[in-house]
């Protein structure tokens, strides 16, 4: 397959003045008639008229009304065109029903829907399917579906047809069409300038009762973007549609967001607190794209982080404002370390702005999204809040209606602040997680902190340069009071020292507050100092981080030499846990132990080979010890944390998070009594799911699993949880057989990405089960990936990432994984997506 390079970018030879599309809907023979007004692009030198097109049957093509015969070429067609403006017309036929890849126009539960990002529009009609070609679209949909939607505002409707017009120029990846038997949850929003906007969430009949939360999240997001960024909505209508078969979470098509139903439908009976929080965040994320992605888009797909990193940063800030910044930040870091650090430290490491790709779908990664968001956070830290807002305003004003680059984004901040951001820009081009080694010196009232930065080599990048690292530091005096509040040190050299003088007594430094940069901090610190910061740090992230380091070190020692858990650490955790002045959600996070995958990486980084079985056993043993150590506080704490009325807000979900964490420990001691009682009386999915998980994690719960299935067999989203929980909590020697048995269940289908992920995402996430010494889980996953590749290459490629950490493990496991990866690669007609991923993982 061909590799595309950022350095080869050239503009398209033609601009588009307008696009008219007519769809005659039919499950296997939809006709798409296009009429596109092109004009030569004076900024382009390459005048080749090439239109992308894949899996299309061309019926006819015309230029200025004259029938022509275009030349078929790899990936599309070419034609000879006039050197003046002209009109291209084409009619093609496509088959939505047989489109199982879920890209282009496809059918899901009898509904027509589209997914065009990144390069799906070329499966709908011939078009310059690249983000820098922006145009206004008018769309006519002909069919007998009760509801037929497209982007923009409704124009006209009549018997068997509707027309939509989108006045805002957009690239083809933001095109959308939905048609089906849908019902809406309606509402309205008045923008700050007084524009009245009709809002709808469209769902399958029966799901109407699960829209209210999403609608409130949408209105909150609309108001937040006005208040925080001065950005207002710009059409008369905003539609959201829930679709069952969807490759990712949601899609920000202009005025017509399409959502994986799991990311929008919510009710207290069927959704957990985590689901509510995620839905709120994703609805906001897609809405925020209206400005960061749609009004201003990417020049080419290498600039993906321009819209994704920035929009993730915006949704993180929104969620922090809606809930708790402290808790959100810890959750973000947990996620970043689990997904992005893992990626950055393995064969799939790539820069936030990659320099080449084979299949762009493979670059919708944690690095582009989450590290991309961290870069925005660092930029804001460095320039300050006021300049950040001014830079954003300038960016919006300067580039509205354009397709731009990271350089354009950074230039707005350079112009506003007068700073040179050339070195900062390396965060976009240099892959890998920087290591920051810190040492300290105390001398007569002066504390000197010395940092040395280095980044290990990553694929294709052996040499690394020093980066700009904002290091937020505060100092805590020996009596526990903060003596120096948070100060941002700006590190630019490979090694650099910073001094704090005029100090009375030697303080303890709290370093990398709020996780001010996506780096790995290496700092020698004893357990007493950690316990001191855990008790006294004013920065919630660092406070949590100290607890995390205590438990991690304890676990690493238990794994290495069967050491007993350290009393200092257990007591420090208990003190935080019972501190009523602290937010229960925060206390729940302190109680959470590092994951087995995290421990495996830590052991590997320390130069040893992780043993998944030992890691699992040590973690299990620590959970048991913790349960005993905390058993005396279960009854009182449990009572304090009751939430008689279920409200999915920060307060309620925080209390439940802590109560559920305690319940999971209690279940290890009481034979499941408390968890069974909660399961029996639960009136919401948070309680029901948590009690069932507590039972399963303790090796119990088989009756409850049956009862759960009986209760929810007709609810596909809850059944995804049922599939997932059984594999996630299976004992290591049962994970593969449990997953295999579930694939035989009548409700298992490989065609639905949510269901496939429920079983196989859970298998890959069950660390000890996935890496069980018999290699059965590796084989099972590979076999199913080979099957899925024929149906849905995008999801197959994404899920092959389960193998990305293979080089951490012993020779036997590496050998077994290599065999499976080579078996996948040897599959005839393997997709470009999966070929690229597996090749990179093997390299
Ligand atoms: N911009 C979207 C990314 C996306 C996607 C969504 C659904 C299906 C396939 C997709 N490929 C790329 C979603 C987002 O980040 O907001
Ligand atoms: Zn996005």
The CA 139 to ligand 2 mean position distance, Å, reads 24
Of all atoms in ligand 1, which is nearest to the CA of residue 312? 15
pLDDT in tens, 716-770: 999 999 999 999 999 999 999 999 999 999 999 999 999 999 999 999 999 999 9
Q: Which of 153, 181, 209 is the last residue of a domain?
A: 181
Atom of ligand 1 lying closest to residue 258 CA: 7
Question: Do 406 and 495 fall within a single domain?
Answer: no
Task: Tell me the pLDDT tens digit for each residue of 471-484.
Answer: 999 999 999 999 99
Do 95 and 152 fall into the same domain?
yes
- In the reported structure, the alpha carbon of residue 117 is separated from the centroid of ligand 1 by a whole-number distance in angstroms of 6
Average pLDDT over residues 636-642: 91
Residue 247, ligand 1, Cβ within 6 A: yes
Contact call for residues 582 and 544 (beta carbons, < 8 A): no
Whether residue 214 is contained in a domain is answered as no
Q: Which atom of ligand 1 is nearest to the CA of 247?
A: 8
Rounded to whole angstroms, the Cα distance separating 232 from 781 reads 46
Closest ligand to C-alpha of residue 118 is: 1
Within-domain flag for 527: no
* Residue 225 within a domain: no
Task: Kindly report the CATH number assigned to the domain that includes residue 127.
Answer: 2.60.40.1730
Q: What are the backbone angles phi and psi of residue 224, rounded to the nearest 5°?
A: -65, -40
**115 has a pLDDT exceeding 90:** yes
For residue 568, the model assigns a pLDDT of: 87
pLDDT per residue as tens digits for the range 778-831? 999 999 999 999 999 999 999 999 999 999 999 999 999 999 999 999 999 999
Distance 93 CA to ligand 2 centre (A): 30
Indicate if ligand 1 lies below 6 Å from the C-beta of 308. Answer: yes
The pLDDT, as a whole number, for residue 251 is 99
Please tell me which residue in 119, 163, 286, 308 is annotated as part of the active site.
286
CA 173–ligand 1 middle distance (angstroms): 10
495 and 611 part of one domain: no
Whether residues 584 and 682 fall in one domain: yes
The 508-511 sheet, strands edge to edge: 482-491, 469-476, 508-511
Residues 589 and 472 in one domain: no
Nearest CA to ligand 1 atom 2: 251
Q: Is the CB of 251 under 6 A from ligand 1?
A: yes
Residue 115: CB within 6 Å of ligand 1?
yes
What per-residue confidence (pLDDT) applies to 167? Answer: 98
Q: b/e per residue, 413-439, with b = 16+ CB within 10 A?
A: bbebbeeebeebbbbbebbbbbebebe
311 and 382 fall within a common domain = yes
* pLDDT of 562: 85
117 within ligand 1 shell (Cβ under 6 A): yes
- Rounded to 5°, the CA angle 473-474-476 comes to 145
Of the candidates 460, 485, 517, which is a domain's last residue? 517
**Closest ligand by atom to 251 CA:** 1
615 shares a domain with 733:
no
State which of 103, 248, 257 you would mutate to test the pocket of ligand 1, scoring each by most atoms of that ligand within 8 A of its C-beta.
Answer: 248
Please report where in the chains the tokens 């078996």 appear, as a residue.
Answer: 823
Q: Is 248 in the pocket of ligand 1 (CB under 6 A)?
A: yes
| Residue 167 forms part of a structural domain | yes
CA 244/CA 749 separation, integer angstroms: 13
Give 9's contacts (C-beta < 8 A, 6+ positions apart): 299, 300, 302
Distance from the alpha carbon of residue 308 to the mean position of ligand 2, in angstroms: 5
The domain tally of the chain equals 5
Taking each helix axis from N to C end, the angle separating 527-536 and 540-561, rounded to the nearest 10 degrees, works out to 150
Instruction: Classify residue 548: in a domain, yes or no.
Output: no
Q: Is the CB of 118 under 6 A from ligand 1?
A: yes
Nearest CA to ligand 1 atom 11: 117
pLDDT in tens, 608-619: 999 999 999 999
**pLDDT beyond 90 at 620:** yes
The rounded Å distance from CA 693 to ligand 2 centre is 31
Nearest to 725 by CA among 744, 747, 746, 702: 702
The vertex-583 CA angle with 634 and 284, nearest 5°, equals: 125
- Report if residue 266 sits inside a domain: no
Confidence grade of residue 561 (pLDDT, cut at 50, 70, 90):
confident
* CATH number reported for the structural domain that contains residue 331 in this entry: 1.10.390.10
Q: Residue 47 pLDDT > 90, yes or no?
A: yes
Ligand 1 binding pocket mutation candidate from 105, 251, 288 (most atoms within 8 A of CB) = 251
Q: What's the domain range around 637?
A: 565-703
Assess contact for 260 and 243: CB atoms under 8 A.
yes
* Residue where a domain stops, chosen among 640, 668, 703: 703
Task: Tell whether the model's pLDDT for residue 558 goes beyond 90.
Answer: yes
Residues with Cβ within 8 Å of 788's Cβ and at least 6 positions away in sequence, in order, are 750, 756, 795, 796, 799
Determine whether 666 is an active site residue. Answer: no
Nearest ligand to residue 252 Cα: 1
Residue 556 lies in a domain: no
- Kindly state the percentage of the chain with pLDDT values over 70: 100
**Alpha-carbon span 168 to 218, nearest angstrom:** 21
Residues 407 and 321 grouped into a single domain: yes
The protein residue with its alpha carbon nearest to ligand 1, atom 13, reads 251
Q: Is the per-residue pLDDT at 1 higher than 90?
A: no
Our mutation pick for probing the ligand 1 site, out of 117, 171, 256, 306, counting the most ligand atoms within 8 A of Cβ, is 117
Tens digits of residue pLDDT in 379-428:
999 999 999 999 999 999 999 999 999 999 999 999 999 999 999 999 99
For atom 7 of ligand 1, the residue with the nearest CA is: 248
Do residues 657 and 727 both lie within one domain?
A: no
How open is the CA angle 371-377-379, to the nearest 5 degrees? 105
Same domain, yes or no, for 589 and 639? yes
ipTM value of the model? 0.98
Whether 598 lines ligand 1, by a CB cut-off of 6 Å, is no
Measured from the Cα of 285, ligand 1's closest atom is: 16
**How much is the average pLDDT of 232-237?**
98
Provide the pLDDT confidence category of residue 154 given band limits of 50, 70 and 90. Answer: very high
pLDDT of residue 61: 98
Pinpoint the alpha helices (H) of 192-303.
212-229, 273-288
Question: Closest residue (by CA) to atom 14 of ligand 1?
Answer: 251
Q: Are strands 435-443 and 520-523 parallel, antiparallel or unpaired?
A: parallel
SS3 call for 239: strand
CATH number for the domain including 505? 2.60.40.1840
Distance (Å) from CA 382 to ligand 2 centroid: 24
**Spatial distance between the Cα atoms of 107 and 87, rounded to a whole number of angstroms:** 31
Distance 251 CA to ligand 1 centre (A): 5
Whether residue 136 sits in one domain with residue 94: yes
Say yes or no: 27 and 173 in one domain. Answer: yes
Does some domain include residue 528? no
Whether the pLDDT of residue 429 is over 90: the answer is yes
Which ligand sits closest to the CA of 360?
1
Cβ of 364 closer than 6 Å to ligand 1, yes or no, is yes
* CATH label of the domain that carries residue 774: 1.25.50.10
What is the percent of the chain with per-residue pLDDT over 90, rounded to a whole number? 98
**φ and ψ at 516, to 5 degrees?**
-70, -10
Ligand 1 centroid, distance to 469 Cα (angstroms)? 30
Mutate to test the pocket of ligand 1, among 113, 250, 261 (most ligand atoms within 8 A of CB): 250
User: What sign does the dihedral 566-567-571-574 (CA atoms) show?
Assistant: positive
């Amino acid at each position: 397959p061909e590799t595309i390079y950022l350095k080869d970018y050239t503009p398209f030879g033609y601009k588009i003045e307008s696009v008219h599309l007519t769809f005659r809907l039919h499950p296997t023979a939809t006709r798409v008639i296009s009429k596109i007004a092109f004009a030569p692009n004076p900024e382009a030198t390459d005048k080749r008229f090439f239109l992308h097109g894949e899996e299309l049957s061309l019926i006819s093509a015309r230029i200025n009304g004259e029938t022509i015969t275009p030349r078929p070429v790899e990936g599309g067609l070419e034609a000879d065109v006039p050197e003046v403006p002209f009109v291209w017309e084409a009619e093609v036929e496509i088959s939505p029903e047989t489109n199982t890849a879920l890209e282009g126009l496809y059918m899901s539960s009898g509904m027509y829907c589209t997914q065009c990002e990144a390069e799906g529009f070329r499966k709908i009609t011939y078009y310059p399917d690249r983000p820098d070609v922006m145009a206004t679209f008018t769309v006519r949909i002909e069919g007998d579906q009760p509801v037929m939607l497209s982007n923009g505002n409704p124009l006209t409707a009549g018997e068997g047809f509707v027309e939509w017009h989108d006045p805002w120029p957009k690239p083809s990846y933001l095109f959308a069409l939905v048609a089906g038997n849908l019902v809406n949850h309606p509402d309205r929003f008045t923008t700050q300038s007084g524009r009245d906007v009709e809002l709808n969430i469209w769902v399958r009949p029966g799901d109407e009762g699960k829209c209210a939360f999403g609608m409130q999240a949408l209105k909150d997001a609309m108001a937040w973007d006005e208040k925080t960024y001065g950005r207002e909505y710009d059409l008369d209508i905003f539609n959201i549609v829930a679709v069952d078969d969807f490759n990712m979470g949601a899609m920000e098509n202009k005025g017509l967001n399409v959502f994986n139903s799991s990311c929008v439908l919510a009710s207290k009976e069927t959704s957990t607190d985590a689901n509510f929080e995620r839905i709120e965040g994703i609805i906001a994320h897609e809405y925020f794209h209206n400005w960061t992605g749609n009004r201003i888009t990417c020049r080419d797909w290498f600039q993906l982080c321009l819209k994704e990193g920035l929009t993730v940063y915006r949704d993180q800030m929104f969620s922090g404002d809606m809930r708790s910044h402290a808790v959100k930040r810890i959750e973000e870091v947990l996620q970043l370390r689990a997904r992005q650090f893992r990626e950055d430290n393995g064969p799939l490491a790539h820069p936030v702005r990659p320099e080449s790709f084979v299949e762009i779908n493979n670059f919708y990664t944690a690095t582009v999204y989450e590290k991309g968001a961290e870069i925005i956070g660092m930029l804001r830290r460095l320039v300050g809040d006021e300049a950040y807002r001014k830079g954003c305003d300038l960016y919006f004003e300067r580039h509205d209606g354009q397709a731009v680059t990271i350089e354009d984004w950074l230039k707005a901040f350079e112009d506003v602040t007068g700073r040179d951001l050339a070195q900062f820009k390396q965060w976009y081009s240099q892959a890998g997680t920087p290591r920051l080694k810190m040492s300290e010196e105390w001398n007569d009232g002066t504390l000197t902190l010395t940092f040395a930065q280095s980044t290990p080599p990553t694929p294709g990048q052996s040499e690394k340069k020093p980066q700009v690292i904002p290091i937020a530091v505060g100092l805590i005096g020996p009596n526990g009071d903060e003596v120096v509040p948070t100060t941002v040190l700006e590190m630019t050299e490979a090694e650099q020292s910073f001094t704090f003088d005029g100090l009375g007594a030697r303080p303890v430094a709290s370093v990398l507050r709020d996780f001010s940069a996506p780096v790995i901090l290496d700092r020698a610190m004893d357990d007493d100092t950690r316990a001191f910061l855990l008790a006294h740090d004013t920065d919630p992230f660092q406070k949590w981080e100290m607890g995390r380091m205590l438990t991690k070190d304890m676990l690493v020692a238990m794994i290495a030499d069967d050491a007993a858990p350290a009393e200092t650490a257990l007591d420090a955790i208990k003190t935080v846990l019972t501190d009523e002045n602290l937010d229960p959600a925060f206390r729940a996070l302190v109680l959470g132990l590092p994951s087995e995958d995290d421990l495996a990486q830590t052991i590997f980084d320390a130069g040893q080979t992780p043993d998944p079985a030992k890691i699992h056993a040590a973690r299990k043993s620590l959970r048991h010890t913790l349960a005993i150590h905390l058993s005396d506080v279960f009854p009182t704490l449990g009572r304090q944390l009751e939430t008689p009325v279920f409200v999915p807000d920060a307060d309620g979900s925080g209390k439940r998070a802590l109560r559920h964490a305690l319940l999971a420990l209690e279940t290890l001691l009481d034979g499941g009594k408390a968890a069974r009682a909660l399961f029996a009386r639960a009136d919401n999915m948070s309680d029901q799911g948590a009690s069932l998980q507590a039972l399963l994690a303790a090796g119990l719960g088989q009756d409850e699993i049956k009862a759960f299935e009986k209760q929810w067999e007709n609810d596909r989203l809850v059944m995804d949880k049922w599939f997932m929980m059984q594999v996630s909590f299976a004992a290591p020697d049962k994970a593969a057989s449990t997953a295999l048995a579930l694939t035989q269940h009548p409700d298992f289908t490989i065609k639905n990405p949510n269901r496939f992920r429920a079983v196989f995402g859970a298998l890959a996430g069950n660390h000890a089960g996935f890496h069980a010494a018999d290699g059965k889980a590796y084989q099972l996953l590979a076999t199913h990936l080979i099957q899925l590749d024929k149906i849905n290459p995008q999801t197959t490629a994404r899920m092959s990432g389960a193998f990305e950490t293979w080089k951490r493990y012993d020779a036997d496991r590496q050998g077994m994984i290599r065999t499976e990866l080579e078996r996948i690669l040897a599959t005839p007609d393997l997709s470009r997506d999966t070929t690229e991923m597996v090749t990179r993982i093997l390299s």
